[in-house]
Amino acid sequence: MDISVDLKALQRGDHKQWQKFVDQSAPLVATILRKTLLAAGHGGGETSDLIQDFYCRLCRNNFAALKQYDSRRSKLSTWLAVIARNIAIDYLRRRKPVEVELEQAEQEKIVHPHDNNVEIPLSSLPPRQLLIMKLLYEQDLDVREVAEMLHIKEQSVRSARHKALGRLRVLLEDEKQNRQRG
């Protein structure tokens, strides 16, 4: 899809160029938004609101986003598709709450393998870390699968796992020291 508009006129807010731009880019933007939502298991009902968010983002701060476009790096349609996909992903992240049954988590405990008397409640982990740990270690999902399921980057999954393990190590050491004192 080729989008041919005068970017300088768009950046100045020229109404005719803006209308031409919207007419040419809206089908692409709508398709990208809808496909991203559908791939994540959402209906396409949010597409029209996200299209509006897309154009608002381009206009915000005196067309700052449009001024960042560099025709030497990509075609305008490719650049717009990336922005549309990012808007859909941001929307999905905001909409998808991290679900953890806290009552169940409070009852579950991690038992240290070398000392059956040391128990660490899983509820000591933040909900997101708890969910990631359960998906990785109880559901035997790999990092990529967890990232896709939660609509986050693989590095975010690795980071959450690292932080959770670190937190559990500290809690385990604290519990051991408390037992030695008592």
Residue 172, pLDDT > 50, answer: yes
Q: How far is it between the farthest Cα atoms of the chain?
A: 78
Q: Taking a C-beta distance cutoff of 8 angstroms, is the pair 123, 105 a contact?
A: yes
Q: Taking a C-beta distance cutoff of 8 angstroms, is the pair 154, 144 a contact?
A: yes
Q: Which pLDDT score, from 0 to 100, does residue 117 have?
A: 53
pLDDT band of residue 1 (cuts 50, 70, 90) is low
Q: Which pLDDT score, from 0 to 100, does residue 45 have?
A: 76
Between residues 27 and 48, the one the model is more confident about:
27
Q: Which pLDDT score, from 0 to 100, does residue 41 have?
A: 74
Average pLDDT over every residue of 111-137? 69
The token pair at 89 is: 């992903």
pLDDT band of residue 30 (cuts 50, 70, 90) is very high
124: nearest Cα among 137, 138, 105: 105
Q: Taking a C-beta distance cutoff of 8 angstroms, is the pair 71, 92 a contact?
A: no
- Does the domain at 7-95 match CATH 1.10.1740.10? Answer given as yes
Please provide the DSSP assignment of 23-62 as one string: HHHHHHHHHHHHHHHHHTT--GGGHHHHHHHHHHHHHHHH
Q: Taking a C-beta distance cutoff of 8 angstroms, is the pair 86, 54 a contact?
A: no
| Cut 0.85: pTM above it | no
Q: Which pLDDT score, from 0 to 100, does residue 96 have?
A: 55
Q: What is the pLDDT of residues 68-118, one digit of tens each?
A: 888 888 888 889 999 998 888 888 877 755 454 544 444 455 554 445 555
Give the best-scoring range by mean pLDDT among 19-28, 36-45, 165-174. Answer: 19-28
Helices 47-68 and 76-95: crossing angle in degrees, nearest 10, is 130
Cα(58)–Cα(79) distance, integer angstroms: 12
Q: Taking a C-beta distance cutoff of 8 angstroms, is the pair 110, 119 a contact?
A: yes
Sorted by where each begins, the domain ranges of the chain are 7-95, 102-181
The CATH class of the 102-181 domain is mainly alpha
Q: Taking a C-beta distance cutoff of 8 angstroms, is the pair 65, 57 a contact?
A: yes
Q: Which pLDDT score, from 0 to 100, does residue 98 have?
A: 47
**Number of separate helices (H) and strands (E) present in the chain:** 8, 2
Helix (H, G, I), strand (E, B) or coil at 176: helix
Of 16-25, 29-38, 59-68, 137-146, the one with minimum mean pLDDT is 137-146
Cα(144)–Cα(141) distance, integer angstroms: 8
